[in-house]
Structure 1
Amino acid sequence: MSPDSPSDVDPCSTGPLVQRPGALKEFVEAMPAPVAMLDDDWRIVTHSRAWLEVFRHEGDETHAPISLDRIESTGQAVPEREALPAPTDQRAFFEVFADPEDEWRAAFLRSLEEKGSLRGHERRLFQPDGPTYWVDWEVRPWQTKNGAEQGVLLSVVDRTEERQAKGLRRQVDHRFDKLVGTISEGVLLMDDEGVFRDGNEAAQNILGRPLDEIIGSRFDADIWNGLREDGTPLPNVEFPFWRALIEREAVQNEVMGLYPPDAPPRWIRVNAQPLFRAGQEAPYAVLVSFDDVTDERLKEEALQTSRDLLSSVLSSSLDGIIVFRAIRDANDAIADFECVLVNPQAEKLFESTAEDVVGLRLRESMSRQEEKGLFDAYRTVVNTGEPAEMEIHYDTDGEDAWYQVMAVKVDNGVAVTYRDITDRKKAERQIREQAQLLDKARDA
């Protein structure tokens, strides 16, 4: 066996003792981990091949220090002169790597002085003009058995990518938190156990509960009482965000009600998106976003109430009521009116059903109304906003019919009331005829 073989290396608790430094060099070069051998002048005597996977040497002829550029592993043996710098090319560690705060130098000196190993995590190691690396490290002293030569072994584990990934995650999380914090929608994060783990300020404002009460609670806790759109109770297992987790599909624009403490229900429009990790079929969380539609719903309820009331009034009214929508031409002038609503009394007056009348246009299908001047009257009402009132006489098959017509503007059209005043007109005519007879009798 060669006297310079690795068997001449005697590892101990404080550091290897060697018969010859050459044996330790061979030992270091054969190690699978990134290791560098330094002498007591802090020159890089040699290093393992794995060291090159972290710090590549650019070539002896350039006399350049070790590059910090990363290299891809090709599986090919590294050329001897690249892996093992010639003695004339052994450069001081601090000529290769910057040490502005003397952290590395202090670690090397302490290891030699205390004859013991030192280790640490995520310390910076960089070449002044190169990128920064972050490494877990261990420094262990070595010396020949006669104490003539000594130095340190520096082994590293590259943590740069992990640190960059952590930093990127922190940046993304920070930007996401800032984004979520500025939007008006409520945002909650529910884990796969149904527990709310995070949320924004808008969520507490919409739900009427402080975040410290929301975060940590389960979706099926007693504080969460839901309502369907029709006002019936909504079981917790039918909440949109729980369904998204169980069904593993997004739920979009679903409206539900929730009770805040001591307050009427708040109505929210919910979007729930399950989140998946790569290679996993089950979601690990659900991202819930929602906006407050309480005012919108109250307006709809009020509008529906108004519609119901209007429908009741129209149905019970003794007057015929028709609503016309103005039809305009390219110049925005009113060209016609289209019937959009007819009440039951109007159906009787016109002896037609609503299905027959709705959709008809006045000038096209109700020519008698235009003949009576109603088109011009309705147009004036829409243009001026002033209501109009008139009496219309129809003579159908020898039968007289009189109507009092009142038109008021509504949006882009008119609401017209037809009141049958035929009996009144006949009574007035009879009174006039009787008066004429009395006048004749007085004259006789």
Structure 2
Amino acid sequence: MLTRVSDRFSQFVHRYLPDAFVIAVLMTLFVFVLAFFTTPGNPLDLFQSYGDGFWTYLAFTMQMVLLLMTGMVLASVPFIRRGLEALSAKANTAKKAYLFTFLISAAAYYINWGLAVIVGAIVAREVGKRNQNAHFPLLVACAYAPTALYTAGLSSSIGLTVATKDHFLANVMGVIPTSETIFHSGTIIIFLSLLITMPIFILLMAPTKNIIPYKGKDEKTIPERNAEESKKTPAIFLEETPILGILIGLIGLVYTILQFSKGVDLNLNIINLAFLSLGLLFHRSLGQYGNAFKEAAGSISPIILQFPFYAGIIALLGSSGLAAIIIEGMIAVSSTESFGVFTYWTAGLVNILAPSGGGQWALQGPLQVPAGMELGVDPAVIAMTVGWGDAWTNLIQPFWALPILSIVGLHIRHIMGYCILLSVWIGIVTSILIYFVY
């Protein structure tokens, strides 16, 4: 039955869901209209706040761009590609393909969500190449689905933020160690429950008819000079020698090791430098690396285009007071026992409009934490329920799927039907568990 439902729902979504950029623009207009009619003040202030916030996340946008490009270039190193191909060949049935892709991606999301973006996409693509019986859109959804788990992982943005000395809410909630957030027994129970039930739900959704196999994405080959051309000039020699790449790659890796020795947490900057350095080290020359980087550039245009629009939405939600209205409305109908569940639902709603864990915590934390503490709710629980809500609706917010889709060559409408159905299951399971385990 679930297979039939998922088939029909996927067809519906495929027909009516527009491009992710169209969704970003529609959300911007929607928030503008809501802010205009629900908040007092000068309407021109909305335009001012939107424009001021539009470029707020330029640094993060560049981090995501480099994450994609350096990861794709690293994956194109011959021996790494062969290793991924050998590993992916083990998923020789459709069911194994779905489970393999989900579990590998889930492991990567637990370690670091930025790393998982690349790992999940590459595994889905390589498994799809070797298993024509697997429905490729569902396979890609398997790679993206573990984004709902990242709050329990080692790169949980909110969990790490509240554990940082002098974080912006430290004077309200104090500094909370990860033993009370990421490694709390309740967090582990929710994580394991989803880790077990999500792949079962995926298998029940798997289509048995109208299978769409991996059809390939245009992957251009990097032109190489022949031996005679490489000897023509000193300039070409410098482009083709492996020595320069090895030297500069080692410098970056030494820095990365030094950062870990100082106890620095794994973050996007460190991952990007590590990917960049390893790629320089393993590619045969700077010229080859530069060409591979150029070939990867086309995949990152959606990120560059859309993130400023969501930054503008976040600024609108904050300056207009619209976020406060949403959050305070949920708080008003909650009790001490239900506060965590309502916080989870609120976070899920806010995340659809403002898909950024850090940005969302900046909006929601100052309102949610004092209200919860007034009811006697543990601030660590408040932080984690906001995090779970943020991760939950990542599945129905198309922005975070863009990196994976760019690598595998699919459109958002190909996978969103499966992701929406899966998010319903995740919402039910997590809501029940939050009520009982925190």
TM-score (norm: length of structure 1): 0.19
Greater C-alpha Rg = 1
Structure with the higher helix share, 1 or 2:
2
Tell me which of the two structures has the higher relative contact order, counting C-alpha pairs closer than 8 angstroms and 6 or more residues apart. Answer: 2
Query: More strand by proportion, 1 or 2?
Result: 1
User: What TM-score comes out, normalization by structure 2 length?
Assistant: 0.19
